[in-house]
Structure 1
Amino acid sequence: MTLTQLEIFSLVAELRGFTAAAHRLGISQSAVSHALKSLEQELGVELLRRHQSQVELSDIGQQLLLRARAMLGLANTLRQEAADARGMKRGTLRIGSFGPTSSIKLLPKILESYRAAHPGIEVHIDEGPDRQVIQWLEERRIDVGFVVLPEERFDTFALIEDQMVALLPVDHPLTAHDSLSLQDLCHDPFVLTEAGSSELVSRLFSAARLTPNIRYRCSQLLSTLDTVGRGAALTVVAESSLPADHDRRYVQRPLSPPIKRQVGLAVLDQRQSSPATLAFIELASKLSYR
C-alpha cells in the first residue's frame, strides 16, 4: 500500500469518477484504474462499485476512506514539519470557506499576508455552504475551515464578531420600525440563504419556538438579496456579509434583542495540524479586519 494509491482512492471517491481523478492528477485513466485495482487486491475488499461513467463507494470503502484521508493528512503533516525545518519552502494548505464574510472580507487579506510570508506553500480553497465546510473538516478533506462559532467538536479560533440583521424590501411596512424581533419576521414570505449562516438562522428561530414562513431557499447570497430586492420575501443575514455597495431596493434593520455572530477558524485537532495550517491560523488571528 502506498500513499499514492490512497491519494488516488480519495480523489476518485471525491470526484465520483476515474476520468475526473486522472485529469486532476495529470495521469492516464488506466493508471488510476491500475492503482485502485492493486489497492483492492492488497486489502482483499471491493472499495468502489463501477457504474458506467461513475463510481460509488462500497460500505467498507466508506469506512476505509476516512482512514485513508487521516493517513494522508498525517503524511502531509510530516512533510510540513520537514518543510518547517527548512523554512516552510514547500507544502500544501487546504482551506474551506463559506459565504461573502469569509470568502470576500476575511480570506483575501489573510492570503495576501500568508503568501508574502510563505510563498512556497500551495493553497487550495474550497467554497461551499457553512454546513459543507463542517463536513469537509470532519472528513479531513480540508486542513482548516471558516466556521460560525461556537463549534465544540473542533479546535476553534475566533476572528470577527458582527450582528445579524433583518433585510426588508424598501417599501415593506416593517421598515417604519427602528428594530425588529424574530416574531415580526414570521408572517411574510421568508428567503433562507444556504451560503452563509443558514444553520445559525434556523437555530435562532427554533430556540425562540418560532417558524418563519420559508418560501425560498437560495444557494448564493446574491440570489437572496435579489429576492428581497424584488419584494418577494424578507430575510435575516449577517451584517458583514452584505456588499459594500448598498442596493437601494432593500433596507436593513437591527434585531431586538441584538443577536451577535462570531466567525472563526476551525481544525479537527490542533495537535495534529501541519505547520502550514498553524502558521495560517496564527497570522489570521493577528490581523485586524476593520
Structure 2
Amino acid sequence: MELRQLHHFVALAEERQFTRAARRVNIVQSALSTSIRALERELDAPLFVRSTRDVRLTGAGEIFLEKARLAIEAVRDARSAVAEVQGLKRGTLKIGTVQSLPAFLDLPLLLARFHQRHPGIEIRLIQGSSSALADRTRAGGIDAAFFPVGTHLTDLVTTMIACDEVVLACPRGHPLEGLTGVTLEAIKDFPFVDFETGWGTRRLVDGRFGDAGIGRHTAFEVSDLDTMLKLVSLGLGIALLPETVVVARDPDIGMARLSSPELCWELVVAHLPVAGPGTPVAAFLSLLHESLVITDTAQLPEA
C-alpha cells in the first residue's frame, strides 16, 4: 500500500465521482480506477459501490476512510516534525514559473502552505520563459522551476506534474469547432495566435509543425494567456493550447481535436540534485509531493 493510493482513495470518497476525483489528484480516470482496484485487492474488500452516476463507500470503505485520513495526516505531521528538527528556521527559497499554471497547479496556495510551515524562510518567485528558467536553475539562481517540457533537461532532476492533450482553440461558431482528427495541413492557412518564441506552448507547436515540414502564419504573438484567449474569442486567430486551459478559462472559446499522434503538453518541476534533507528546496519538494499525486521521472528528496 502506497501513500499515493491513500490520496486516490480519499479523493474518490470525497468527490464520489471518478472524473472529478481524477481531476483533483491530477491523473487520468483510468489510472485512478486501476489504483483503486489494486487497493481493494490488497485489502481483500470492496471499498466502493459503483453505479453509472456516482460511487459510494461500502461499510469497509467508510472505516478505511477514517484510517486513511489519519495515515495521511500522520505522514504530514512526521514530515513537518523532521523539518523542524533539521532547523528550517531561516533561508531563502527561489521558485521559478511560467505563466498560466493555475489550471494545473495552485502555486500561490502551495507557497502559502510552505510559508505557514516555515515562516522564517524568505520566498522569492520568478517568472520567465522555459529556457530562461532552465538556465537560471542550472546556474543555481533558482531552486526549483515549473515549466513545460521542450528544452534540454538531462542535467536537471525533473518530475512530471501534469500531462495534457494539446487541442485547437477557436472562436465559437468557427468551422473547425467540434471537429476531431484535424490535421496540421488542414489548419496551416488559418491565422494563429501564439506565444512569443520561447514562451508557453510555442516551442512545442513550432517543433511539431517543423517536424512535419509544414509552415503556418502566426498573426499575433503575445506573452500572456489572457490576451491570447481574448484574441481567439474575438475571431482573430486560432491557437494550440492544453485542453485544461481551453476548457477552464473562457466560455467564448470553442475546441477541436488534432489527429493522431496526439500533441501532449507536459509540465515538470526541475531542480539541481538536492544535497540532502534540511534545506528549503528539499522541504518545498516534499510539500509538493504530499500535496499532489504526481508521476515521477526522478525521485523527489524527502525533507
Report the TM range for the smaller structure's normalisation: 0.5 to 0.7
Please identify which structure carries the higher helix content: 1
Say if 1:168 and 1:251, in contact at 8 Å, map to a contact too: yes
Residue 84 of structure 1: how far off its partner (Å):
7.0
* C-alpha separation in 1, matches of 2:122 and 2:223: 28
TM-score (normalised: structure 2) = 0.61
Query: Does the residue aligned with 1:124 lie in a helix, a strand or coil?
Result: strand
Query: Does the residue aligned with 2:106 lie in a helix, a strand or coil?
Result: helix
Query: Does the residue aligned with 1:87 lie in a helix, a strand or coil?
Result: coil
* C-alpha separation in 2, matches of 1:123 and 1:190: 37
**Residue-by-residue CA offset, 1:52-75 (whole Å, 9 max, x unaligned):** xxxxxxxxxxxxxxxxxxxxxxxx
Unmatched 5+ residue regions in structure 2?
Answer: 1-82, 295-303
Match of 1:20 in 2: none
**Correspondences of 1:1-290 after superposition (within 5 Å):** 86-101=86-101, 105-149=105-149, 151-194=153-196, 195-242=199-246, 244-248=248-252, 250-257=253-260, 258-271=262-275, 275-288=279-292
Residue 160 of structure 1: how far off its partner (Å):
1.6
Deviating above 4 A after TM superposition, structure 1's stretches of 4 or more consecutive aligned residues are: 83-86
* C-alpha separation in 2, matches of 1:113 and 1:289: 17
Matched pairs, number:
207
Q: 1:287 to 1:86 in 2, by over 3 A?
A: closer
* C-alpha separation in 2, matches of 1:178 and 1:117: 47
Larger radius of gyration: 1
* C-alpha separation in 1, matches of 2:145 and 2:155: 13
* C-alpha separation in 2, matches of 1:103 and 1:125: 18
Residue 245 of structure 1: how far off its partner (Å):
4.6
Q: 1:105 to 1:159 in 2, by over 3 A?
A: closer
Residue 126 of structure 1: how far off its partner (Å):
0.8
* C-alpha separation in 2, matches of 1:97 and 1:156: 14
User: In terms of mean alpha carbon deviation, does 174-183 or 267-276 score higher?
Assistant: 267-276
* C-alpha separation in 1, matches of 2:186 and 2:277: 44
Q: 1:84 to 1:218 in 2, by over 3 A?
A: same
Residue 167 of structure 1: how far off its partner (Å):
0.6
Say if 1:96 and 1:142, in contact at 8 Å, map to a contact too: yes
How much is the aligned-residue C-alpha RMSD, in angstroms?
2.7
